[in-house]
Chain A
Amino acid sequence: MGRNSPLKKIIEAKARRRKDLAKLPFEEKIRILVRLQEMAGGIRKPGKPQTKGVWQI
């Protein structure tokens, strides 16, 4: 992978994005977590009960 390859740039951008997300305030991260729980619940297998729930906060 060359120094300026598109893939390398994408990987670096993703790493930067993760570092930026890591700096978010605690409260904002919890809001994102609840959204992640909602999204994970939405992609469960049809007909299967949701075994883990979304925080009701």
Chain B
Amino acid sequence: MEKTLKVIGELKKRGIILDYAIGGGIAALYYIEPLLTYDLDIFFVPVEDKIDVLAPLYRWLSDKGYGYEREHIVIEGVPVQFIPVYNDLVREAVGTAREVKYGGTRTKVLGREFLVAVMLQTYRPKDKERLARIYEESKPDGRKLLGILKRHGLIDRYREFLEKNLGKK
């Protein structure tokens, strides 16, 4: 995993991407008890807004000898899915992500409150399950979260989640 994160960090150092942060199941795992997941989601800010934003990084990774497995590229034994920032919320989440260390390697993980907001936006069954776990095991900062949710129009979704999943009104 550390080797994987080093390679991903190299993409930023070399200017192939502008910025990145770990999202999805691994970001959730950072805050809660370990959960089963099979891929590492990386949200990234492309250098240019063009149609195929994945091409430059896939080209560089292929040149390094990393191969594909369905929608993933396998970097040092870990299937990685690169997801370009697709809206203002995800862009802000990457820009404000938390810097963390994995072994001796620096990386970035979506902040807890942004992770909650992104999961409220995608709102798949597994997001609801992870949200409930975050609330139980690693409570988000309410004020910070409400600010994010107001800016990105997610207050109603948040109320619905609280009511249906945590029995709060």
**Residue on B nearest A19 in the bound complex, by CB:** B137
Query: Using Cβ atoms and an 8 Å threshold, which residues of chain B touch A15?
Result: 136
* Binary contact track A5-37/B, C-beta < 8 Å → 1, others 0: 000000000010011011010110110110011
Total inter-chain residue pairs, C-beta < 8 Å: 58
Contact A29 B78 (CB under 8 A): no
Number of interface residues of B (CB under 8 A): 24
Contact B36 A22 (CB under 8 A): no
**Residue on A nearest B107 in the bound complex, by CB:** A26
Q: Does B29 contact A (CB under 8 A)?
A: yes
Given known pairs A29-B30, A33-B29, A37-B36, the reply for A18 and B77 (CB within 8 Å) is: no
Number of interface residues of A (CB under 8 A): 20
**Residue on B nearest A33 in the bound complex, by CB:** B34
Query: Using Cβ atoms and an 8 Å threshold, which residues of chain A touch B30?
Result: 26, 29
Given known pairs A15-B136, A36-B34, the reply for A29 and B29 (CB within 8 Å) is: yes
Query: Using Cβ atoms and an 8 Å threshold, which residues of chain B touch A56?
Result: 77-78
Contact B137 A33 (CB under 8 A): no
User: Can you list 10 A-B contacts with CB-CB less than 8 angstroms, sorted by A residue number?
Assistant: A15-B136, A19-B137, A21-B33, A22-B138, A27-B102, A33-B35, A36-B34, A37-B36, A40-B36, A57-B1
